[in-house]
């Protein structure tokens, strides 16, 4: 029998990236230095932003839904594909940022730094990276040659900015796929949630049916008690509604003539007995009903949590691309690079390729 991977461990728990970033952040201070472009500051802030990014639900959050989730669903595979692509970009951000620090530390001359930077970029692209950048290998190599001609690292960074912009656009596209992919609905995260919710309902369908039936019966009996009270006060219309109601299944207790106090008392005891019986049945199914409700609540919480992570990563992506652009432009105050107030206009630019 096929073993299902946990909802929290296979699909909805992030990779080891956050742990890696926490480790790097602990060492981040040693990279900060005074350079023409303070790449140490850039790397420190990249790590600080990404260390809490989690492309998956927090560990231990999926306790009930893991028994429902199936990694073989098309929606699951689409979700995994998007998650892997987004993690791919996050890793590039970290690796790239730390490489700039390494180059600045190892190379003491501008010429040496430009050469090391150009060598690094020349060695990077595989087919997956080129596809993400939406650039041909020939164009990429031409850009690398142009970078190699520069005499200062800051100028080389400026020439490379289109690559950073392209990676930012790619990340934005991946994040869009999580929520509004119109070409492949299996990639839509909401569809994975809907599929899981449907499976939960199927698993607990008998419990749901019993619970709904018990609720209907309980309120029908309570309504009958109201009619009984009015009938005892002489309301003949209330009595007619009482005996016509579905609450009295045992029709033999209904008198043929005008009801006496004894008749009404007997009907009242009958209704109490029915209510007590419903209560005992409800107690029997209560554990399963609570489990069903807990599973549904957990799914809602996980969905909200993941949407929050996507919004966070989208903002990180915007700020990082913008920070690199500012650094490459020669801004002398590194604190201005990661100004979150400057981010709002960037999504439009990322979406239209204007950066």
Q: Which pLDDT tens digit goes with each residue over 180-238?
A: 654 555 567 888 889 999 999 999 999 999 999 999 999 999 999 999 999 999 999 99
- The predicted pLDDT at position 53 comes to 66
Choice among 36-45, 74-83, 116-125, 140-149 with the minimum mean pLDDT: 36-45
d(CA 250, CA 72): 51
Q: First-to-last CA distance in the chain?
A: 52
User: For residues 3 and 342, which has the higher predicted lDDT (pLDDT)?
Assistant: 342
Nearest 5 degrees, angle CA 144-CA 146-CA 152? Answer: 100
Q: Residues 260, 252: contact at Cβ < 8 Å?
A: no
Choice among 165-169, 176-180, 187-191, 351-355 with the minimum mean pLDDT: 351-355
Burial class for 5, CB neighbours closer than 10 Å (0-12, 13-18, 19+): middle
21: closest CA among 55, 58, 56, 51? Answer: 51
DSSP track, 50-89: HTT--SSPPTT--SSGGGT--TTSHHHHHHHHHHHHHHHH
Residue 156: pLDDT band (50, 70, 90) is: very high
- The predicted pLDDT at position 28 comes to 39
What are the phi and psi torsion angles at 248 (to 5°)? Answer: -100, 95
Average pLDDT over the chain reads 79
- The predicted pLDDT at position 323 comes to 86
Q: Is this prediction's pTM over 0.85?
A: no
- The predicted pLDDT at position 115 comes to 94
User: For residues 52 and 126, which has the higher predicted lDDT (pLDDT)?
Assistant: 126
User: For residues 254 and 256, which has the higher predicted lDDT (pLDDT)?
Assistant: 254
Using CA atoms of 283, 284, 288, 292 in order, give the dihedral in degrees to the nearest 10: -40
3-state secondary structure of 15: coil
């Amino acid at each position: 029998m096929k073993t299902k991977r946990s909802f929290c461990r296979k699909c909805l728990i992030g990779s080891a990236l956050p742990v890696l970033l926490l480790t790097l952040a602990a060492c981040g201070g040693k990279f900060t230095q005074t350079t023409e472009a303070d790449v140490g500051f850039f790397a420190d802030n990249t790590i600080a932003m990404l260390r809490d990014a989690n492309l998956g639900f927090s560990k231990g959050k999926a306790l009930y839904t893991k028994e429902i989730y199936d990694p073989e669903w098309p929606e699951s595979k689409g979700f995994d594909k998007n998650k892997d692509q987004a993690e791919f970009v996050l890793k590039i951000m970290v690796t790239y940022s730390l490489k700039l620090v390494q180059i600045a530390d190892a190379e003491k001359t501008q010429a040496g730094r430009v050469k090391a930077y150009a060598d690094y970029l020349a060695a990077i692209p595989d087919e997956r990276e080129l596809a993400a950048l939406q650039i041909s290998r020939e164009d990429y190599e031409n850009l690398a040659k142009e970078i190699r001609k520069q005499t200062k690292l800051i100028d080389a960074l400026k020439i490379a900015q289109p690559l950073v912009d392209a990676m930012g656009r790619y990340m934005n596209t991946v994040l869009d796929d999580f929520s509004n992919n119109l070409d492949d609905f299996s990639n839509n995260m909401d569809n994975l949630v809907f599929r899981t919710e449907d499976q939960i309902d199927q698993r607990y369908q008998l419990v749901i049916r019993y619970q709904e039936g018990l609720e209907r019966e309980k309120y029908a009996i309570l309504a009958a008690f109201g009619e009984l009270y009015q009938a005892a006060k002489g309301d003949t219309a209330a009595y007619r509604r009482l005996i016509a109601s579905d609450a009295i299944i045992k029709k033999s207790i209904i008198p043929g003539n005008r009801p006496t106090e004894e008749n009404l008392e007997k009907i009242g005891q009958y209704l109490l007995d029915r209510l007590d019986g419903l209560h005992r049945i409800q107690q029997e199914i209560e554990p399963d009903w609570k489990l069903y409700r807990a599973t549904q609540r957990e799914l809602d919480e996980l969905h909200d949590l993941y949407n929050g992570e996507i919004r966070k990563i989208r903002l990180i992506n915007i700020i990082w691309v913008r920070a690199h652009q500012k650094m490459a432009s020669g801004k002398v105050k590194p604190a201005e690079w990661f100004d979150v107030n400057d981010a709002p206009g960037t999504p439009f630019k990322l979406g239209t390729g204007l950066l």
